Each structure stands twice: as C-alpha cells, then as structure tokens.
Amino acid sequence: MAEQLVASLESMGQLLLAMDTGVGLLIGVGLSMSASHLFSLLANRLTPTQILLHMAVDGLVLSLAFLLGILCHSLMLMLLEGVPLQPITFANRMGAALWPGLFYVLAAAPYVSDLIAVSLLAWIHLNVLVLLQVVYGIPLLTGLVVATPGFVVALLLVGLLFAQRWRTSYDMLAREVADLTQP
C-alpha cells in the first residue's frame, strides 16, 4: 500500500515537472484568487503567518480545481472529438487560457466584486474555446460542449471553497464582535 502511494506521488511529481509552464500559471491564478480573501483574513485579525498559511492552502486548492477542469477538458476532447493527446501537452497549451485569472485579486473590490469575478471567469472560458479552435480546429459550438463540463467542475470546486472559507471567516468575525459587545 505504501509503495503504491509513493509510486503515485512520484508519478504526480513527474507530471508536475512536465507541466512547468502550466503549473506556474495555475498556481499564480490560485494565489490571485486566494488573495481576494485578504481583507476578510485581516478583518479577523489573524497573524501574518496564519494569513500566509490560509492564502497558500487556498491558492493550491484553487489551482487544483482549475487543473481538474483542464483534465476534464482533455477527457471530453478525447471522447467527443477523438483527438489523441497527452494531458501534459494539453495542460501546457490550455494553461495560457488562464492568464486573466491573475487579475482575480481585483474581485476583492467592494460593490463590483461579483462583476469582476464573473467577467474574469467568462474570459477564461472564452480563452479556452478560442484555444480549442486555434490549436485543435474545434468549432466554437463544439468547443462549448467540450469545455463546459470541465469549467463547471472547476467553478463548483472554487465556489465550494469560497463559500466555506467566507462562512468560516464571517463566523469567526461575528464571534469576536459578539464577545466584544457582551459585558
């Protein structure tokens, strides 16, 4: 059992090394999305070490969500279009579609945060559709069928993490305020 786990981890490490460009961008997008929670972490008066730990863990989980979305894209491309490809090559090519996510930190802006977040996520999805058309010759409507399931998986994972993290942050802040207001 332990040998199988070690072999799986080594395989995953080799995959990450082969995807060096895509992984760097994935991690950058994850960290940018994580940084959008900086204000709630500061409001909870966490220490700088706790804030960095929260941001690092969230950034890695968000990066994993987008990586799973890209892997779903590659699976759908193979199933629907019969395009033979390696997930590493596909992830490196599709990783370029994620660059608007580097600006996700702007979603922390008050009043316009939802508009910024939706616009950036739509831009990422559009980039994937365009790359599918340019690189693999997939028409936009077919690309929509290929890319939407992976995009939905990524959005669900991102939404679950954000909902959990925001709920925890606001519960912590509410407890602090309640403690301060009680005699």
Question: Model confidence over 130-171: pLDDT tens digits?
Answer: 888 888 888 888 889 989 999 999 889 888 887 776 667 666
> What CA–CA distance (Å, rounded) separates 65 from 31?
12
> What CA–CA distance (Å, rounded) separates 106 from 33?
9
In-domain check, residue 6? no
Count of residues in the chain: 183
The one-letter amino acid at 158: V
Question: Could you say which residues of the chain have pLDDT below 70?
Answer: 2, 5-23, 165-167, 169-171, 173-174, 177, 183
In-domain check, residue 7? no
In-domain check, residue 15? no
* Residue 58, both tokens: 């969230």
In-domain check, residue 63? yes
In-domain check, residue 8? no
In-domain check, residue 11? no
Q: What is the CB neighbour count within 10 angstroms for residue 147? A: 27
In-domain check, residue 49? yes
pLDDT recorded at residue 138: 86
Domain membership of residue 156 as a residue range: 21-181
In-domain check, residue 100? yes
Q: How many domains does the chain have?
A: 1
